[in-house]
Structure 1
Amino acid sequence: MTHKIAILGASGYTGAELVRLIATHPNMDIVALSADRKAGMEMAAVFPHLRHLDLPTLCKIDEIDFDAVDLCFCALPHATSQKVIKALPGNVKVIDLSADFRIRDPEEYAKWYGGEHDAIELQKEAVYGLTEFYRDEIKNARLVAGTGCNAATGQYILRPLISAGVIDFDHIILDLKCGVSGAGRSLKENLLHAELSEGYHAYAIGGTHRHLGEFDQEFSLLAGRDVRIQFTPHLVPANRGILATAYVHGDAQAVHDTLAAAYADEPFVEVLPLGEAPSTKHVRASNFCHLGVVADRIEGRAIVVAALDNLTKGSSGQALQNANLMLGEEETTGLMLAPVFP
């Protein structure tokens, strides 16, 4: 069976990444691509690296016949997604790559995103899209909320450790570096080459980054009590990739054993031997996440490092992984591409 796919917001980085991945999927056919300002253009003109593919012309959302669509990927900006998804036919399965449905509590959503939610009933219905931990719910979902790329990386490190209780919940520091594609494709002065290259900087310091809303929600649910981590993201002059380093109070061997057991059967998450640390170079443009654990020189403390590609495992690859589950496909279909190296 061939599933008919629409991608809304196809002119952004995550939209292009979805096209790249779905092009290798034997049972998915892209029937519609939307782009507001670029409607009427060919995808090859917007992303020349995709010119070898036979793709629909970019169009406006209201030009799409959703009766001919089985599943829709929504790669639109925050606050826009909720309005668009609210208007879609109820028979269309939806995966949202924005932040609009990640936070379950409407008050928490308003706190982190600065406005009231426009689709409260859908917000209640949405399933959080971290595949490895919500697999059963995703299989039966109509609406899945893709995670933030930073949030996904931190959770691959910390969820199993919090669940198993092998670390001190009150002493967790997460230091994260992300490539510039994580900021999107829109023109911004601080993302110009001359502004960004030859240096990197911390941002959203002191607990203001919106992905903290996801960490608070998910970690507190796991622990059965409030868990508030310290989190500082950094923007690095690389096109793609995330490297996250967590500093935790706990025995390194126990931390490693817990992660190894948690991901033993996961096709996309690999725990390296104790003492080894991963690199973004080894997961580039893939749906894989590598985790490494190193004992700190201070007894009873451990350092855990995670590497993944923000556009693939952190966003579009995760979305395709979820789509496979929602459509009854093998979860790994279209996603076993090896990382690009060097």
Structure 2
Amino acid sequence: MTYSIAILGASGYTGAELIRLIAGHAQLKIEALGAFSKAGQPIKQVFPHLRHLDLPVLMQIDEIDFANIDLCFCALPHKTSQEVISKLPNDLKIIDLSADFRLSDPDDYKKWYGNDHAAKDLQKEAVYGLTEFYRDQIATARLVAGTGCNAATGQFMLRPLIQSAAIDLDDIILDLKCAVSGAGRSLKENLLHAELSEGYHAYAVGGTHRHLGEFDQEFSKIAGRSVHVQFTPHLIPANRGILATAYVKGDPTKIHDVLVSAYASEPFVEVLPLGDTPQTRDTRGSNFCHIGVVADRLPGRTIIVGALDNLTKGSSGQALQNANVMLGIEETEGLMMVPFFP
């Protein structure tokens, strides 16, 4: 069976990544591509690398006929997404890639994103989109909220350890490096090549990064008590990839065993042999997440390193994985591509 798909926000990085992934999917067909400023343009004009694909012309979202659309990906900016989704048909399956439905408490959304939530009724039915941990809920959901790419990386590394009480919950330090595509495609002065290349820098230092809202929500839910990680992100002059390093208190062998067991049947999360660490180049362009565990020189402390592609496993690949679950398709369909090399 073939399902009809719409992508809103198709002119951004995550929109382009969705098109790339769906082009290799046996059961999905793109019927509509929505955009704002680039509406009316053929996709080859916006993304020349997609010119070989037979795709509809970009159009204004309010001009799309959703009557025959089975599932809609919404890859729009924060705040815009909730306003658009609230006007879509009530029976349409939706996967939102923005932050608008990730935080279950609208007050938390206002705290981290600075705006009142404009679709509180929809928020009540949204399911958090970390597939490996919400698979059953996603299967019956109408609206799925994709995670932040940084939040996904940290959760793959730490969720099983919090669940099993393998680490000290009051001593978690997460240091994360993210490629520039994680900041989106809109023009920003600090992302100009001359100002970004040949160096990297910390940002949102001191606990102000928005993905901390997801860490607080999810880790505290698992633990049944308040859990607050110390988190500092860094922007690196690369197009794709996240490399996160967590410093925790706990036995490295036990931590490794817990992670191996947690992901033994997961097709997209691979735990490396104890002592090995991953690299972003090994997951680039793929839906895989690699995790490594190393014993620290200080007794009782462990270093955990995670790597994934922020545009794929951290966003659009995760969204397609969720779509497969929602539509009853084999979860790995369209996602088993080999990482880019070199």
Task: Name the TM tier (shorter chain).
Answer: over 0.9
SS, match of residue 270 in structure 2: strand
SS, match of residue 176 in structure 2: strand
Partner of 2:133: 133
Runs of 4+ deviating beyond 4 Å: none
- Whether 1:303 and 2:306 are equivalent positions in the alignment is no
Partner of 1:173: 173
**Separation in 1 of the partners of 2:109 and 2:310?**
23
Partner of 2:197: 197
Partner of 2:318: 318
Q: CA deviation at 1:68?
A: 1.4
Partner of 1:269: 269
Residue ranges of structure 1 left out of the alignment (5+ in a row):
none
Partner of 1:117: 117
Partner of 1:32: 32
**Separation in 1 of the partners of 2:146 and 2:199?**
30
Q: CA deviation at 1:91?
A: 1.3
Q: CA deviation at 1:179?
A: 0.3
**Separation in 2 of the partners of 1:174 and 1:44?**
40
Cα deviation 1:276-315 (Å, max 9, x = unaligned) = 0000000000000000000000000000000000000000
TM-score normalized by the length of structure 2: 1.00
SS, match of residue 161 in structure 2: helix
TM-score normalized by the length of structure 1: 1.00
Instruction: Please list, as runs of the form range in 1=range in 2, the aligned pairs for 1:1-342 lying within 5 A after superposition.
Output: 1-342=1-342
**Separation in 2 of the partners of 1:209 and 1:58?**
33
Cα deviation 1:248-303 (Å, max 9, x = unaligned) = 00000000000000000000000000000000000000000000000000000000
**Separation in 1 of the partners of 2:308 and 2:115?**
31
Cα deviation 1:174-232 (Å, max 9, x = unaligned) = 00000000000011000000000000000000000000000000000000000000000
SS, match of residue 302 in structure 2: strand
**Separation in 2 of the partners of 1:194 and 1:83?**
35
Q: How many residues align?
A: 342
**Separation in 2 of the partners of 1:225 and 1:40?**
51
Residue ranges of structure 2 left out of the alignment (5+ in a row):
none
CA-based RMSD of the aligned residues comes to 0.4
**Separation in 2 of the partners of 1:31 and 1:91?**
17
**Separation in 2 of the partners of 1:304 and 1:274?**
10
Q: CA deviation at 1:106?
A: 1.1
**Separation in 2 of the partners of 1:68 and 1:38?**
24
SS, match of residue 66 in structure 1: coil
